[in-house]
Copies of this chain bind each other. A is one copy, B any other.
């Protein structure tokens, strides 16, 4: 768990720590990675971008400052991090991860708990995108999850998929349960808020494969609508502002004909909790994947609406999540098209 890397406060786990020790000497159960790229969490990058009014140099300076101060990349405002890719440099003799030096890997644990040192001042990054070219090192613990990058896929494409691979896996698990327990002919209806994004498009594909009979993707702008329609991943695609509860629930209910059995929130803006609850049927489930989710807003919102809805904190870890997400990328041309267009635009 990396407790010995926690500098302050004492006794917490690395993710909760204010500061980690990112020293390069590894313990017997650790692995050191030579880092080549960070992928910042979308909510974190957006917060930094807005704070600095789109000044890339200021964004870069703050990211450098965070990493050197904290020994990890964890945005102090959003609490979120991201992930990285790099090459295995040294493997402790008792590491259970099974890596060999020279293998190219992506971390699937958050940067918020990954000891990290940057040695190039992020000089090759313009501060204007979540993808951060980088030189430095990072440490993996015994239970850290990481994946060897597939050789048949562009590493940036793999990284983008692996970054959000918990979402389709948990969506598939929840939707499967509704499908298995449905006792009449009604299709299981699924809404994905932010359906054209990375986690959203994968979740739509996963929901359909898990047996969802009717799906809707909700997007904020016409460009995303057109892209998601072209991708063919949802039965319906609708435009709505997810922060407007009445607009969101009306859009979902109109598109599906009923409220959703499962609503998946994949947009990285605050204030989507109430709309998601309102869009969901009694007995339904909302899965919150956005790090911008407010626990209190969700809990009190559902209570205030007298909504008998199960609300899940989107856990980024589900066994088999990396394989499932990479399989969707390989098998669903619509998913691949959205990811490739997004990388090209970055």
| A11: Cβ under 8 A from any B Cβ | yes
- Please tell me if the beta carbons of A13 and B300 are within 8 angstroms of each other in the complex: no
Contact with B along A217-253 (1 / 0, CB 8 A): 0000000000000000000000000011111000000
Known: A294-B79, A299-B313, A299-B314. A305 touches B112 (CB 8 A): no
- Please tell me if the beta carbons of B310 and A315 are within 8 angstroms of each other in the complex: yes
- Please tell me if the beta carbons of B143 and A112 are within 8 angstroms of each other in the complex: no
Q: How far is the CA of A172 from the CA of B110 in the complex (A)?
A: 33
Contact with B along A52-95 (1 / 0, CB 8 A): 00000000000000000000000000111100000000000000
- Please tell me if the beta carbons of A271 and B306 are within 8 angstroms of each other in the complex: no
Chain A interface residue count, CB cutoff 8 Å, equals 57
Instruction: Output the least CB separation between A272 and chain B (Å).
Output: 10
- Please tell me if the beta carbons of B110 and A11 are within 8 angstroms of each other in the complex: no
- Please tell me if the beta carbons of A317 and B307 are within 8 angstroms of each other in the complex: yes
Q: How far is the CA of A11 from the CA of B246 in the complex (A)?
A: 8
Q: How far is the CA of A259 from the CA of B108 in the complex (A)?
A: 25
Return the chain B residue nearest A320 by Cβ: B308
- Please tell me if the beta carbons of A300 and B80 are within 8 angstroms of each other in the complex: yes
| Sample (21) of A-B pairs whose CB atoms are under 8 Å apart | A1-B305, A11-B244, A79-B297, A80-B300, A113-B304, A143-B305, A143-B306, A145-B306, A288-B295, A288-B313, A291-B295, A291-B299, A291-B300, A294-B295, A299-B314, A299-B315, A303-B315, A303-B316, A306-B317, A308-B319, A313-B313
